[in-house]
Amino acid sequence: MRGGARPRPCPGARLKTINPPRALVTGGAGFLGSHLCQALLGDGYHVIAADNLLTGRLENIAHLRNDARFEFVEKDVCQPAEWGPLAYVFHFASPASPVDYAKHGIETLRVGSYGTFEAIEAARRSGAKFLMASTSECYGDPLVHPQPETYWGNVNPIGPRSVYDEAKRFSEAVTAAYRRYHNLDTRILRIFNTYGPRMQIRDGRVIPNFMWQALRGEDLTVYGDGGQTRSFCYVTDEVDGILRLARSDEHAPVNMGNPAEFTILECAKKILAVTGSRSQIVFEPLPQDDPRQRRPDISKARRLLGWEPKIDLETGLKLSLDYFRKAVHEASNPAA
Ligand code: UDP
């Protein structure tokens, strides 16, 4: 092994004893980030949520702001910052819906490169643990099904999804390199489709889109023939898995998602049933590079973390319904 590649202890490791331990969550005002902040507060952390509100929203964290252990910093995490002593850095900042990252492609590439370096350097300076929010998109349009962590993927490096897919793959490479060269205590989490309260109603993802359409009596727009599959994980299951991975010693990537697989047409029908809507289903063109199938192999998470999702799609949709009803009402009546 060459000298530069030898793992070295982290210089700031002693700072971890600060009480309560301080966690930085980049993207802390986003859908998943805000649920994570809440769970970390419940776990006894002092939480700093950093977000530039490009796709995150202050409403997502409004209920946390009276907690003295919660801080919100409006900030582009691509810019250098001094955060003080940290025990954990969770790097969740990024547009995450295909519509959002198509709209903000350059910002997505920046936060998944410059932003990742800033976040991981903040962890290194403090001797903090670092957890990188990666994605099932690392597998692209997968040729192996279901997808185990050992699969390297089938990604178009220049297509419309590449701004997200390659930024996340690059971030995984950065994280693995800091583990290798700096002996940083890292985790890589591959998040599969997750849904629940606080999703943006208009971010274009399939569940909010169908909810919006069903609750307004509009046609449900199924792209392609609706035969493409996804596996949907309810947000509380996902966050439970994230905390388990955060507490574990696993440095290699871990898939986290619900292995129950549905076609998009089945998903549309479930949403019609749960909402009681009489909307029709219509078919529209399939976006370029839309993955044909996606289902996590979660045997590693089961074995290492004792984790598996508990909430099935129908239950999760019912649990989300009040939120979506309110979000649709507010977005449809902006003055109300
Ligand atoms: N989709 C759809 N109608 C919509 C929105 C999405 O049929 O109104 C499809 C989309 O083409 C994809 C799947 O639903 O096959 C999931 O899309 P989403 O944007 O939620 O995320 P993805 O899993 O593709 O990242």
Which residue CA neighbors atom 21 of ligand 1 most closely? 205
120-157: pLDDT as tens digits? 999 999 999 999 999 999 999 999 999 999 999 999 99
> Which atom of ligand 1 is nearest the CA belonging to 193?
23
287-304: pLDDT as tens digits? 999 999 999 999 999 999
Burial 35-61 (b: 16+ CB within 10 A, else e): bbbbbbbeeebbbbbbbbebbbeeebb
**Residue of 220, 261, 264, 284 with the most ligand 1 atoms within 8 Å of its CB, for mutation:** 264
Which residue CA neighbors atom 12 of ligand 1 most closely? 290
List all residues whose CB is within 6 A of at least one atom of ligand 1: 97-98, 193, 204-206, 209, 221-223, 228, 230, 264, 286-287, 290
- Which residues carry out catalysis? 164
Question: Do 231 and 295 touch, CB atoms closer than 8 A?
Answer: yes
Work out the angle between the directed axes of helices 31-42 and 235-247 (0-180°, nearest 10).
Answer: 60
Please tell me the distance from the alpha carbon of residue 173 to that of residue 69, in angstroms, as a whole number: 32
> Which atom of ligand 1 is nearest the CA belonging to 294?
23
The model scores a pTM over 0.85 = yes
**CA 193 to centroid of ligand 1, rounded, Å:** 10
Closest residue by Cα to residue 229 from 192, 202, 255? 192
Domains and CATH numbers, the chain: 19-262+274-279+281-332 (3.40.50.720)
53-105: pLDDT as tens digits? 999 999 999 999 999 999 999 999 999 999 999 999 999 999 999 999 999 99
Please tell me the distance from the alpha carbon of residue 230 to that of residue 228, in angstroms, as a whole number: 7
CB atoms within 10 A of CB 335: 3
> Which atom of ligand 1 is nearest the CA belonging to 161?
25
